[in-house]
Amino acid sequence: MRIAAFVPALVVLFALLLWGFAGMPDFGHYRGPYGFVLERIATPERHVTNVVNATTYDYRGFDTMGEEFILFAAVTGVVLLLRGSSGSRRRADDDVRSDSIRLAGAVAPALVILVGLWLVAFGFVTPGGGFQGGIAVAAGALMLFVAVGYRAWSTLGDERLLDPIEGLGAGGYAVVGLAALVSGLPFLTNLFGPGVVGTVRSGGSAALLNWAAAIEVAAANVILTTEFVEQYIAPIVRRRR
């Protein structure tokens, strides 16, 4: 029954798709001028060597603001659905008793969080950037939860701490854009002037947008994993009581 309704729609979709593909250039013979122009002018104009991040935060910074607000809205949806639905949450008395996990937990989360912060800071020089570094920091925080146990983690994964940080990231992006508007330039213009190529100080005010995106992505992912972990912990707590 579902197949009978699905196959005609699939045939129509693929007819349109193949008609679109016939007009595209071959694989490897990219024609468009936009990419070639950006490669040549990004380093002299903005003094950044990572052209992808220059595109994300500077030339197409408005699209990235839209993506940030998608992230913000989706995390709001998850929090509305899951928070406050699992009763008493803060009284799980679990302990991590394995010594090897505690030893690894003393070393591994710090390394991962440091690598994540390095990815964010040098985002305009080498591959990296706000999004990659933010999610690496969130992965390090998750490792910290695994090593420490739920009771100790719940003092750090508190919603009163994480929600303002996420709002700071999302709102900070818009505020940096509005700062350009206040000084008479179009929204999200690059202020501060470009810095020195190849150092942390390159990119102008796009570096602030980089950090705002990193803070928001990290806080949003830590909130998500905290909500999901509490969903997992709640039946275990209830069964032990």
Partner 1 sequence: MTMLATLVPLQYGLFGLVALGAPAVVLSRDPLRMAVVNGLYGLVLVLLFVLLGAPDVALSMLVVTTVAYPVVLLIAIARSRSSKEEMDEA
Partner 2 sequence: MTYVPYAISAWVCAVGLYGIVMSRNLIHLAVCLTVTQSSTYVLLLSVGYVQGGGPPIFKGVKLGTTSVDPVVQALSLTDIVVSVTVLALVLALALDVHRQAGTVDPDEIAAMHG
Q: How many angstroms separate the Cα of 55 from the Cα of each of 60, 62, 155, 198, 206? A: 5, 10, 38, 17, 10
Size of the chain, expressed as the number of residues it contains: 241
Name which of residues 26 to 45 contact partner 2 (CB under 8 A). Answer: 26-30, 32, 34-35, 38-40, 42-44
Residue 202 as a binder of partner 1 (CB under 8 A): the answer is no
Longest dimension (CA), the chain: 66
The tokens of 181 are what?
A: 């508007």
Write out the binding residues for partner 1, residues 90-119 only, by CB under 8 A: 119
Q: Is 77 in the site for partner 1 (CB under 8 A)?
A: no
How far apart are alpha carbons 239 and 183 in whole angstroms?
60
Q: Residue with structure tokens 């710090």?
A: 110
Number of residues that bind partner 2 (CB under 8 A): 60
Q: Which of 104, 135, 174, 179 binds partner 1 (CB under 8 A)?
A: 135
Candidates 56, 154, 205, 210; binder of partner 2 (CB under 8 A) is 56
**Which residue, 197, 211, 199, is CA-closest to 46?**
197
Catalog residues that contact partner 1 under the rule CB under 8 A: 50, 52-53, 85-87, 119, 127-129, 131-132, 135-136, 138-139, 142, 221, 224-225, 228-229, 231-232, 234-235, 238-239
